[in-house]
Structure 1
Amino acid sequence: MTAIGWRLAMQAALYGSGGFFVRPRSGPADHFRTSVHASPLFAGALLKVIEQLDAALGHPKTFDLVDVGAGRGELLTALRRQLPDRVRLTAVEVVPRPDGLHPEIHWRRDIPQSIVGLLIATEWLDNVPLDVVDIDEGGVLRKVLVDRVTGAETFGAPADAADLFWLSRWWPGPGRIEIGWPRDSAWADAVASVRRGAALCVDYGHRRDDRPAFGTLTGYRDGRQVTPVPDGSCDVTAHVAMDAVAMAAGTPYRMIRQRAALKALGVDGARPPLDLARTDPAAYLRALAAAGSAAELIDPAGLGDHWWLWHTVGVEIPFV
Structure 2
Amino acid sequence: MPVTEWLTWRTAMERALYGEEGFYRRGERPAEHFRTSVTASPRFAAAIARLLAEIDAALGHPARLDIVDIGAGSGRLLANVLACAPPALADRLAPTAVEIAPRPSDVPARITWRADLPTEITGLAVANEWLDNIPLDVAEHTPDGVRTVLVDPSSGAERTGPEPTAEDRDWLERWWPLREAGDRAEIGHPRCAAWASVIGRLRRGLAIAVDYSHHRESRPPYGTLTGYRDGSTVPAVPDGSCDVTAHVALDACVVAGERAGATSTLLTTQRAALRGLGLSGARPPTAQAHQDPRAYLTALCHAGEDAELTDPSGLGGFGWLAQSVQIPLPASLTETP
TM over 0.5: yes
**What is the aligned counterpart of 2:8 among 5, 8, 27?**
5
Q: CA deviation at 1:36?
A: 0.8
Contact 1:56–1:317 (8 Å) recurs in 2: no
Please give the residue correspondences for 1:168-207 in structure 2 after superposition, counting only pairs within 5 Å. Answer: 168-174=173-179, 175-207=183-215
Contact 2:206–2:329 (8 Å) recurs in 1: no
Contact 2:141–2:178 (8 Å) recurs in 1: no
Residue aligned with 2:90, SS: coil
The amino acid that maps onto 1:52 is: E
Q: CA deviation at 1:87?
A: 1.0
1:137-172 per-residue CA deviation (whole Å, 9 max, x = no partner) reads: x23211111111111111111111111000110011
- State whether structure 2 residue 232 is matched by structure 1 residue 224: yes
**What is the aligned counterpart of 2:280 among 248, 256, 268?**
268
**What is the aligned counterpart of 1:46 among 48, 51, 59?**
48
1:153 and 1:40 map into 2 onto residues whose CA distance is: 41
- State whether structure 2 residue 58 is matched by structure 1 residue 56: yes
**What is the aligned counterpart of 2:292 among 266, 280, 288?**
280
2:107 and 2:162 map into 1 onto residues whose CA distance is: 46
Contact 2:55–2:330 (8 Å) recurs in 1: no
Q: CA deviation at 1:223?
A: 1.0
The amino acid that maps onto 1:302 is: G
1:35 and 1:6 map into 2 onto residues whose CA distance is: 28
2:93 and 2:46 map into 1 onto residues whose CA distance is: 16
Matched residue, 1:239: 247
Matched residue, 1:120: 126
2:73 and 2:48 map into 1 onto residues whose CA distance is: 17
- State whether structure 2 residue 162 is matched by structure 1 residue 157: yes
**What is the aligned counterpart of 1:102 among 101, 104, 108?**
108
Q: Which segment is superposed worse, 61-70 or 284-293?
A: 284-293
Residue aligned with 1:157, SS: coil
Contact 1:3–1:145 (8 Å) recurs in 2: yes
The amino acid that maps onto 2:321 is: L
TM-score by length of 2: 0.92
Unaligned runs of 5+ in 2: none
Task: List structure 1 segments (4+ residues) > 3 angstroms apart after TM superposition.
Answer: none
The amino acid that maps onto 1:279 is: Q
Matched residue, 2:326: 314
Residue aligned with 1:249, SS: helix
- State whether structure 2 residue 141 is matched by structure 1 residue 135: yes
Unaligned runs of 5+ in 1: none
1:279 and 1:203 map into 2 onto residues whose CA distance is: 41
The amino acid that maps onto 1:217 is: L
Matched residue, 1:305: 317
Please give the residue correspondences for 1:83-102 in structure 2 after superposition, counting only pairs within 5 Å. Answer: 83-102=89-108
Q: Which segment is superposed worse, 265-274 or 78-87?
A: 78-87
1:236-281 per-residue CA deviation (whole Å, 9 max, x = no partner) reads: 0000001001110112211111101111111011122221222222
Q: What count of residue pairs does the alignment treat as equivalent? A: 318
Matched residue, 1:34: 36
Matched residue, 2:302: 290
Q: CA deviation at 1:295?
A: 0.7
RMSD: 1.1
Residue aligned with 2:79, SS: helix
Q: CA deviation at 1:202?
A: 0.9
TM-score by length of 1: 0.97
Q: CA deviation at 1:61?
A: 1.5
1:61-119 per-residue CA deviation (whole Å, 9 max, x = no partner) reads: 11111110000101001011324222101000111221131110001111111211111
Q: CA deviation at 1:53?
A: 0.4
Matched residue, 2:79: 77
2:307 and 2:329 map into 1 onto residues whose CA distance is: 27
